[in-house]
Amino acid sequence: MKARLLQLLKSPAILAMLPVGFASGLPLALSGGTLQAWLTVAGVDIRTIGLFSMVGLPYTLKFLWSPLLDRYALPFLGRRRGWIVLLQLALALDMAAMARIDPAGSPGFMAAAALLLAFFSASQDIAIDAYRTDLLKARQRGLGVATFVTAYRAAMLVSGALAMILADRIGWSQTYLLMASIMAASAGATLLIPKASDASLAPRSLRSAVIEPLRELLSRPGAFLILLLIVLYKIGDAFAGTLTVSFLIRGAGFTPTEVGAINKALGLGATIAGAFAGGAIMTRLGLYGSLMLFGILQAVSNLSFMALSFMGRSFPMMVAAVGFENVSGGMGTAAFVALLMALCNKRFSATQYALLSALAAIGRVFVGPPSGFIVARTGWAMFFFITFLAALPGLLLLRAMKRQIASYDKEA
């Protein structure tokens, strides 16, 4: 098994996940948390800073223009890589433009540039998700996703924590210019990754690119159950995650510094470790077995926070709960993304992946608002027990669909 893992890790397809994963993760903080820090330091009014959160809207709505990337291929580098390189160069230029704007004097121009950055970034995600789906074969998906997640998280550290540290030393403008240079270098790296799919697979018309992906999904046997599984599989994990930080501070009595050091730093390492462990286990258990095992672990990890609520301010229990939750979450993410990839038809992988990932986000949107009310009514311990129960319907549905999910491992 070890030799097989090493062989997979050295394959060009999995190595390609490093540059595209890094490029996908780099822009996010530059229109989000890092930009918010710049606006705050520059003295921008807090109401204006609050409105800047709207610039992230393209990430939610990206499925609306994803058919364009399925239908049209640029006349260089193949169906997916051409779009990726073009969007990476656009991102680099936009970051460089942001570096020249004074956020206090021209907040409107900065908002427009940040919105454009989010649009280019979301569009790059469409192209990269499709590239990953087209390139990785069934046996490569687990480790491929793990490699992608690791590079993505590393890039978020570069454009998040590292960028803020650099801004204190070289200034915000120079920091954004540096990020633009890194983004441009990512475009150079994209030129070296292998080609994924041929433009001949593209839909013949824009109308087909819009309608056929949804029609093809809904025409499959058990389509409704597949879509329901996507909504339910990680809902318990998302439910608990809505208030984890609040619980650690207000419910368990830890300080924000302690939560930042343990929940964020340990959580990042544990998520990456979980994703790689999940990818390795998937090569042995297959898609169905991995989804079931990781889903059970995700559900049980919520109970560790329930135990912490009983114990109170216990550092060992906090470390155990945060580590367990993030390792199991990383495993679950590796298997879940592999499932989404398995469900995509390569003719429409940009559109179908965007649609499926948007569907997966529905559960997270709906469990957030009532979570605070549940805590206020039942207390923290019962809240985490309810999140455990919320994970069970997805596992039961997965068990009922065992034969269908297992069949995806037989694909080339």
Alpha-carbon dihedral 196, 202, 206, 210, rounded to 10 degrees: -70
354 close to 66: Cβ distance less than 8 angstroms: yes
338, 142 Cβ separation under 8 angstroms: yes
pLDDT confidence bin for 1, thresholds 50/70/90: low
Mean pLDDT on 75-92: 90
Provide mean pLDDT across the span 246-274: 80
In this prediction, residue 93 carries a pLDDT of 97
Q: Are 188 and 59 in contact (CB under 8 A)?
A: no
Q: What percent of the chain has pLDDT over 90?
A: 39
Does CATH number 1.20.1250.20 belong to domain 2-202?
A: yes
Query: Mean pLDDT over residues 382-396, rounded?
Result: 94
pLDDT over threshold 50, residue 123: yes
pLDDT category at 263 given cuts 50, 70, 90 is: low
Domain boundaries, the chain: 2-202, 212-410
Region 117-121 average pLDDT:
95
Residue 111, burial from CB neighbour count under 10 angstroms (0-12, 13-18, 19+): buried
Q: What's the pTM value of the predicted model, to 2 decimals?
A: 0.83
Query: Would you mind telling me the total number of residues written for the chain in this entry?
Result: 412
Q: Give the confidence band of 365 by pLDDT, cuts at 50, 70, 90.
A: low
Q: Is the pLDDT of residue 307 over 80?
A: yes
346/8: higher pLDDT: 346
| pLDDT per position as a tens digit, 179-229 | 999 999 999 999 999 887 665 567 777 888 888 888 888 888 888 999 999
Is the pLDDT reported for residue 242 higher than 80?
no
Same fold, 2-202 and 212-410: yes
The mean pLDDT of 284-310, rounded to a whole number, is 93
DSSP string across 238-250: HHHHTTHHHIIII
Q: State the average pLDDT over residues 72-82.
A: 83
Give the pLDDT band (50/70/90) at residue 42. confident
Q: Which of 113-117, 144-148, 175-179, 385-389 has the lowest mean pLDDT?
A: 144-148
> Is the CATH code 3.50.50.60 the one for domain 212-410?
no
The CA-atom distances, in angstroms, between 229 and each of 142, 232, 272, 339, 366 are: 19, 5, 24, 10, 16
Is the predicted pLDDT of residue 412 greater than 50, yes or no?
Answer: no
CB atoms within 10 A of CB 398: 20
